[in-house]
Amino acid sequence: MKYKYKLNNLDCPNCANKIECKLNQEKDIISAKVNFSKLELTIETNKEGNIKEFISLIIKDIEPNVKISDLKDKIDNSYTIKIKILRLVLGIIVSILGIFVFKNTISNILIILGYIILLSKTAYTAIRLLLKSRTLDENLLVTISCIGAYFTNNITEGLMVITLYEIGKLLEFIAVNNSRKSITELMDIKPEYANLKVDNELNKVSPEMVCVGDIIVILEGERVPLDGIVLKGSAKLNMQALTGESRLKEVNIDDIVLSGSINTKGLLEIKVTNTYESSTVSKILSLTETATDRKAKIETMVTKVAKYYTPIVLILAIIVALSFPLLFNISFTDSIYRALVFLVISCPCAIAISVPLSYFSGIGASSKKGILIKGSDYLDSISRIKEIIFDKTGTLTTGKFLDYKLDIIDDNYTKEEILTFLVSGESLSNHPIAKSIVSIFNNVKAKKVINFMEVSGRGISYEINNNKIKIGSSLFCKNKENDGLIYININNKNIAKLELSDQIRKDAKSTINKLKRLGIKTKMYTGDDKEIATNVANKLGIDEVYYELLPQDKYKLLEDTLVNKHGLVAFVGDGINDAPSLALADIGISMGGVGSDSAIESSDIVIMKDELNKIIEAINISKKTNKIIKQNLIFAIGIKLLVLLLSALGISSMWQAVFADTGLTLLTIMNTTRILKTK
């Protein structure tokens, strides 16, 4: 069984990593994932009983301040922030009185009291972790530094360190929560209620309570709670949350309406076609909620290093304290002070926070543009693609065949009879070509079909009134010419052939050109004949084209490409017939994923609107995210090493060390939020 909980008062990514590691060590837990960016814990366990209490006891031993609650509970951090501020202000006032106002005994008492007020929480956490779980972290580093400063007669600096540290942690807590709120708002498309129509009355109910076939009403300004078909009314829908498209979409009777869109003008009465669990908005939310569970390599590396980081820093500080008096002409007091400065500098918060927050921001920014990325690893990888393979129909082309030419071979059949045979069978297929045929000849009434069978990549066969019918390629209908046309075969005789004109997407050529400028090789796979395939490829400037392929042929070709690849390979398809290839590629990208189960399930990145240039946008967001992560890491590590060197030389003091810790953390958080402003 899987369980999800909210984590309250979790303000440190190192703490999140410790909780995750500890839970995964428990024999009753199959897997545990802590999403620091969303403050969520996902647990998979076969244990029975009160799981929440069981988890709470484990977490309490590691992080006593962290509390778990149900997902539906809202986290209010205002009280926590007020308590932090109150304790901080009280500690500063007492410390100032002790240093500047009073003298002798009263001064000492007030200074010690100031230390206790300011350092108590950090010291308590450090000692508890050390005794309970044998864990060393930044709380211990700061505690040792402050106490050491007091006993080496650097009392003012010790107070300053814990004061600035607490101020920094408070600002960090606020900054992280504000960033988290901004990102969450980008992906917040969950409907709060549905107006269920019962006996001409509207009842406001939870979307989960509505069944398929129920009638719901969407008033102006409301979010569409469930997928459905319009029965009455017309409206203009804002679908930006789903597709990233800012233009309004007008819907009328018999049009499909997707959950998550907003009714900006009009009133709709729709018949529900999917339960909430199967709805578009639920699938998108599920995808975005689990996206950051898939960690990029650099996130995994930071998590592993964090486990050993603090003990190594502590050992190095001891070496500095003991060896410097022997190697250089300085006192033990001075060497201890330098070691304490070393401890303060070495706190890893800036590095630990910026990496997961950057990926979370990148996924949020992509979602806002109608690009759903299933994990940090895919966001990290898409900028490193060296080769992209495109399916043709429905991807590079619209898949909508608006123009046609029907050539009747056997005069014993009229055009009306042929179209009736054609539409009757094609209406049962989900292939893009079949849908286009039904759309073109929508005024033709279909007849009852029996023994319907579809042969992937070839055609369909069925029976109508004892007539055995085959619709498909020249090979499927046993025609001598391989001309790429659709043949209508009745009782083993070709009676007509249909030519359809597929349109190239308006942004296809510009997208291919941009990919080439980025140094990405492009290929096209298609089931069409050589003439049609090469014509499309030449118009778009595709590097390589492969034609007359069945889905299994595409899979085999992709398999061979992956074996001999010279970099990451992506496959772009429409998510209907390309599921195996989408799943096989290093990165599978589905086009036009709105409402498509196969698109969302089989691919790693879902482009929610039929716009190829979204691939370029995804690459740009990936590049910006990776660039900011590198900036943060280089800046944080560089400054820390510089201050570390200066402290070893006796130049830098504790206040500079605090800047190298909490100041850097705040700067990296602010730099990370630039990802959300990606155009």
Closest CA to 298 of 337, 341, 258, 351: 351
Q: Do residues 540 and 520 lie in contact, with contact meaning Cβ atoms separated by under 8 Å?
A: no
Alpha-carbon gap, residue 66 to 15, rounded angstroms? 9
Residues contacting 274, CB < 8 A, separation 6+: 212, 226, 227, 228, 259, 280
Q: Is 586 a catalytic residue?
A: no
Calculate helix-pair angle for 415-426, 432-440, nearest 10 degrees: 140
Q: How buried is 188 (Cβ within 10 angstroms: 0-12 exposed, 13-18 middle, 19+ buried)?
A: exposed
Q: Which of 534, 524, 620, 543 is nearest to 581 (CA)?
A: 524
CB burial of 96-119 (b: ≥16 within 10 Å; e: otherwise) equals ebbeeeeeeeebeebbebbbebbb
Residue 673 gets which letter from DSSP?
Answer: G
Dmax (CA) for the chain in angstroms is 117
Q: Could you tell me which of 406, 459, 398 has the C-alpha nearest to residue 428?
A: 459
Which of 391, 529, 578, 610 is labelled catalytic?
A: 391
Please state whether beta strands 605-607 and 587-591 pair in parallel, antiparallel, or not at all (unpaired): parallel
Token output for 94: 């007492």
Given CA atoms 401, 405, 411, 414 in this order, what sign does their dihedral have?
Answer: positive
DSSP 223: B
Q: Which residues are catalytic?
A: 391
